[in-house]
Amino acid sequence: MPNPLVRKLENFVRLSPEEKQALERIAQPTRRLGAREDVIRDGERPRHVNVVLEGWACRYKQLEDGRRQVISIFLPGDLCDPHVFVLRNMDHSLGTLTPVVLAEIPETAIRDVAQEYPRLAEALWWEMLMTAAIQREWTVSLGQRLATERLGHLFCELFLRLRAVGMTSETSCEFPITQADLGDAMGLSTVHINRTLKELRAEGLIRLRGRQLTIPDFPALRAASLFDPAYLHYERDPSVSDAD
């Protein structure tokens, strides 16, 4: 099973064997957590950059009165903030949604690798900018899209992000999170998530049973959700030859 961080970055730049090795060296498993545990909490001082190697995690923020918003979802290969250190304290928490294996990378290791391999530095930039683009798209979803569009859009996004790290079949992927988590992420109540899933199922746009999501007709779901994958920027740099 290849390193998901390597797989992810290869969607943007072609990496040499040495570059891949350098990445794999710094992204080794160092911490295992169960489902629903905190990686780091709001207010704490970050000690390393976390990379998800296995499982699903999230950024979230809890309001004083208990309301909780999941701000981002992290899939295998995702980096949680390559440059957290600049700000001294976390302004949100990181938690797991499923059991998770993390690579905890020290500040210096990231810096060194970026210094030595400029193409890796560029790939890390791409990853940061794409993360920001996803955050913006969530803003659009929460601000403008109806519940069916919101969920459909999220399914499209997560399916493509999982495909980018080789974790999908033709039309299906693992989908291991609960309806309550989906609600916290999309700003909807659990009950309404359930209603909305029922509707999407009834229209034949998705199948979702156990921990398995199937999108039988991606273009159909895409159209129903006004999903435009451009913001994911999965185009390889044309200045890098595709021939190896």
241 lies in the binding site for a second copy (CB under 8 A): no
Round to whole Å and give the CA distance between 200 and 197: 5
Q: Of the two residues 41 and 198, which places its CB atom closer to DNA in the complex?
A: 198
Residues 6 or more apart whose Cβ sits within 8 Å of residue 209: none
Residues 6 or more apart whose Cβ sits within 8 Å of residue 196: 147, 148, 151, 188
How many residues in the shown chain lie near a second copy by CB under 8 A?
Answer: 45
Binding string, residues 114-143; x marks residues near DNA by CB under 7 A: ------------------------------
68 lies in the binding site for DNA (CB under 7 A): no
Is the Cβ–Cβ distance between 147 and 188 less than 8 Å? yes
Out of 179, 207, 220, 226, the residue judged to bind DNA by CB under 7 A:
179
Is the Cβ–Cβ distance between 26 and 103 less than 8 Å? yes
Q: Of the two residues 1 and 63, which places its CB atom closer to a second copy in the complex?
A: 63
Q: Of DNA, a second copy, none, which one sits near residue 74, judging by CB under 5 to 8 A according to partner kind? A: none
190 lies in the binding site for DNA (CB under 7 A): yes
Helix axes 17-26, 118-144, angle to 10 degrees: 60
Alpha carbon 64 to chain centroid distance? 26
Ranges within 75-134 binding a second copy (CB under 8 A): 81, 83-84, 86-89, 91-92, 122, 125-126, 128-130, 132-133
Round to whole Å and give the CA distance between 106 and 84: 11
Is the Cβ–Cβ distance between 4 and 56 less than 8 Å? no
What strand order describes the sheet that includes 172-174? 172-174, 212-214, 207-209
180 lies in the binding site for DNA (CB under 7 A): yes
Q: Which two tokens stand for residue 151?
A: 């969920």
Binding residues (CB under 7 A) for DNA: these are: 146-148, 150, 178-180, 187-192, 194-198, 208-210
Binding residues (CB under 8 A) for a second copy: these are: 43, 59, 61, 63-65, 67-69, 71-72, 81, 83-84, 86-89, 91-92, 122, 125-126, 128-130, 132-133, 135-140, 142-144, 185-187, 226, 230-231, 233, 235
